[in-house]
Amino acid sequence: MMMCKAATRLMSKQLDAPLTARERISLRFHLMLCSACRNCEKQFGMLHRVGNAYNGTIDKPQDGSAEASSGVNADNVASDQDLLKVKEAMAEAEARRQN
Amino acid sequence: MTQETLNDRHKKLAAVRPRLLSFARMHLRDHAAAEDAVQEAMIAAIEKNDSFSGRSGYETWVFGILKYKLLDQMRQQKRHGRWEPFDEEHSDDAIDRMFQQDGHWAADAKPQAWSTPEQAFENENFWKVFDACMLSLPENVARVFSLRELMGLSTDDICKEVGIKENNAWVILHRARLKLRACIEKGWKEDAA
């Protein structure tokens, strides 16, 4: 039977490429019996969605619950520093346009 | 485009800047270089403002520009030979310690259930821990993970960018995920304690 270390290899691989039928079956079988590996698979899946969490959430329509959000969304308020940097970028874009 | 919507766009740009910055910093592992990349991306976004089609969200569009700049910067670094070579066959002590000889989890390394995993992204502490854990990865490993999971490249494209074989990319990603998982779990426990 496949052991945990090999199972984690397949859990990781399936996020990057399709598994063979044999790999898929041995992984499913192992996961049925091993709760630690089930936790691991969930957490790999979460790491896989980290990129979307970065540039996806901000475009979601803002409903009434938007104020309750924190984390990445908490940064969604521009500071003076950010506004200043945008002004600098605008000046630079204008300067490049004229050159 | 009216002046009013233009101003709105610039406000949006300022609002998304902190997130652009943390994304760039995670990928480049260098604060000054990240500031530069974000500034370049914002200049490009302002210059190309008219070409924003509105089909994707504005922020997604700006993120796309930043990703393009980051890839470009990475290619230049590579050309200038600023990369350590990949150490392909090296076994990894930190990973070996997570498992027993027979391949079972070591007693102190068994993955625990994380409470509310799906809400983690809403949690500021998650990002703090994630940030620190990314920095604790070896540079080469972090780069491949970031190309895959932050930039969203396929392993095939990563192999072309980085110059490794696909099998090697899978080994690196496997190690990165195991290490990040363990590091995040540890960080969260300490946080809760």
Give how far Cα B163 sits from Cα of B24, B85, B168, Å. Answer: 22, 10, 10
The answer to whether residue B37 sits within a structural domain is yes
Do residues B100 and B177 both lie within one domain?
Answer: yes
Q: Which residues on chain A are in Cβ contact (under 8 Å) with B120?
A: 46
Q: How far is A73 from chain B (nearest CA, A)?
A: 7
Average pLDDT in the A69-76 region? 44
Do residues B108 and B176 both lie within one domain?
Answer: yes
CA–CA dist B34, B5 (Å, integer): 28
Question: Residues A14-29: pLDDT tens digits?
Answer: 999 999 999 999 999 9
Residue A84 structure tokens: 């200043």
Which among B188, B181, B109 is positioned nearest to A4, based on CA atoms? B109
Identify the DSSP state of B99.
Answer: B
- Domains: count for chain A: 1
Q: How far is A35 from chain B (nearest CA, A)?
A: 9
Query: Which domain, by its residues, includes A32?
Result: 1-53
Average pLDDT in the B145-165 region? 93
Predicted local confidence at residue A67, as pLDDT: 34
Contact A76 B124 (CB under 8 A): no
Q: Which residues on chain B are in Cβ contact (under 8 Å) with A79?
A: 18
Write down the ipTM of this complex.
0.87
The answer to whether residue B88 sits within a structural domain is no
CA–CA dist A23, A67 (Å, integer): 45
Query: Which domain, by its residues, includes B174?
Result: 93-192
Which among B141, B146, B149, B137 is positioned nearest to B172, based on CA atoms? B141
CA–CA dist B39, B45 (Å, integer): 10
Interface membership of A66 toward B (CB under 8 Å): no
Do residues B182 and B97 both lie within one domain?
Answer: yes
Which among B169, B179, B177 is positioned nearest to A17, based on CA atoms? B169
- Domains: count for chain B: 2
CA–CA dist A12, A48 (Å, integer): 10
The CATH code of the domain that includes B120 is: 1.10.10.10
Nearest CB among A48, A83, A90 relative to B149 is that of A48
Contact A89 B42 (CB under 8 A): yes
Question: Residues B84-135: pLDDT tens digits?
Answer: 667 666 778 899 999 999 999 999 999 999 877 667 787 778 888 998 999 9
Q: How far is B83 from chain A (nearest CA, A)?
A: 24
CA–CA dist A85, B13 (Å, integer): 10
Q: Which residues on chain B are in Cβ contact (under 8 Å) with A44?
A: 177, 181
Residue B140 structure tokens: 């080469």
The answer to whether residue A42 sits within a structural domain is yes
Do residues B105 and B67 both lie within one domain?
Answer: no
Do residues B134 and B169 both lie within one domain?
Answer: yes
Give the relative orientation of helices A21-33 and A4-13 as an angle to the nearest 10 degrees.
130
Other C-beta atoms closer than 10 Å to the C-beta of A38 total 17
Do residues B53 and B137 both lie within one domain?
Answer: no
